[in-house]
Amino acid sequence: MPNRFCAICGKKLVQDDPHFGMCLKCFLKEHPLFKLPDRLSINICLDCGSYSKKDIWIEPLDNELFSIIKEAVQKFLLKSFLKKNNIDFSFAVNENSFIFSSKDLLVSLEVEIIGVLKEDSNIKHKQIISINLNHILCKNCSNLRGGTYFIAIIQLRVKDEEQFGLIKEVLDEVNDYVENLFEKNHKQYISKIENQKFGVDLYLSTNELMNYLIKFLKSKYFFLLKRTKKLVGRDTQKGRNLYRLKALIKFLPVKIKDIVFIGDQNFSVENITKNKVILRGENATKLIKDYTYFFNEKIIKKNL
Ligand SMILES: [Zn+2]
Ligand SMILES: [Zn+2]
């Protein structure tokens, strides 16, 4: 083989330098493994650690600042490379580049991104990216701090004062349930509880939470459920209508073993199914009534 030389630096080429007439070093300079923007600006939520580039907030896998930064770099800069899966990336944070705000928040830093081609570790590239961090509140957390946000309402109602104890019991259970849920997902919370004459209104942060709560209550209580949906506006960004959902829950005013006076006879509540109440009269007659009966009729309950 005749002597060949690098077209760029003039270095003598060797057998494993078949890089278009260039030595490996010059080849990599001309054809870097990857090319990223020099800067990246990320929003990080002060309260929950979610991050975003524009409007869409992403919950991080890990809440530690540097792993949030790493995750954001992977998502916003390296996504297409990671999809191809042909380069191994590693990160090095330059501590000397740290700039802190007056409130001691890290607002700027440099991160070196090193990539090595999987099939040939001689082919590598590194690039320093300067990252700006904007510490703000995500939509959800600012709603949370504001305490006024809600998109669904559950109305819990009883028929008369006699059942007020039930409302209290249900509220305690609902609060426990939602607190647990909130621990796992900060989007789910009750933003307001309003007292009403025969119960309470719960203002909920999501429609999803409303469905969870209905399911939860169904497993424990008997009630009539009426759902309504009201158009309240339009999300112009997403181009869709916004609805406020309402669920009215009317707790059945009788429970198993209650004695109810119907017609001219006392009946005891023998069983309650998903939508019927099964009663047994003094003379063993069986009576089946819909839930609605107990709301529409004035029923006289006799306590044992
Ligand atoms: Zn060269
Ligand atoms: Zn947040």
Beta bridge partners of 200: 156, 195
Higher pLDDT, 301 or 108: 108
pLDDT the model gives residue 7: 83
The secondary structure of residue 212, as a DSSP letter, is: H
Ligand index nearest the alpha carbon of residue 145: 2
Q: What are phi and psi of 107, to 5 degrees?
A: -110, -15
Q: Whole-angstrom Cα distance, residue 47 to residue 19?
A: 51
Among all ligands shown, which has an atom nearest to the Cα of 57? 2
**Could you tell me which residue, 23 or 242, shows the higher pLDDT?**
23
Beta strands in the chain, from DSSP E residues, in sequence order: 39-45, 51-52, 87-100, 106-117, 124-136, 152-157, 190-196, 199-204, 223-235, 240-251, 259-262, 265-272, 276-281, 286-290, 300-302
Strands 106-117 and 87-100: antiparallel
138 pLDDT higher than 90:
no
Ligand 1 centroid to residue 115 C-alpha, Å: 21
- In this prediction the pTM is 0.57
pLDDT average, residue stretch 202-217: 92
Residues lining ligand 2 (ion), CB within 5 A?
45, 47-48, 50, 138, 141
Q: What percent of the chain has pLDDT over 70?
A: 92
- Give the pLDDT score at 303: 60
The pLDDT value recorded for residue 280 is 94
pLDDT on residue 237: 59
pLDDT tens digits along 45-87: 988 889 999 888 998 988 899 999 999 999 999 999 999 888 9
Among all bound ligands, the one having the nearest atom to the CA of 144 is: 2
Q: Is the pLDDT of residue 111 over 80?
A: yes
Ligand nearest the Cα atom of residue 9: 1
Q: Does residue 207 carry a pLDDT above 90?
A: no
Dihedral angle of Cα 255, 211, 63, 113, to the nearest 10 degrees: 160
Higher pLDDT, 242 or 286: 286
Which pLDDT does position 146 carry in this prediction?
63
Ligand lying nearest the CA atom of residue 20? 1
Distance 102 CA to ligand 2 centre (A): 21
Ligand 1 mean position, distance from CA 251 (Å):
82
Which ligand is closest to the CA of 14, given by its number?
1
Mean pLDDT value across residues 183-204? 90
Residue 90 C-alpha to ligand 2 middle, in angstroms?
Answer: 28
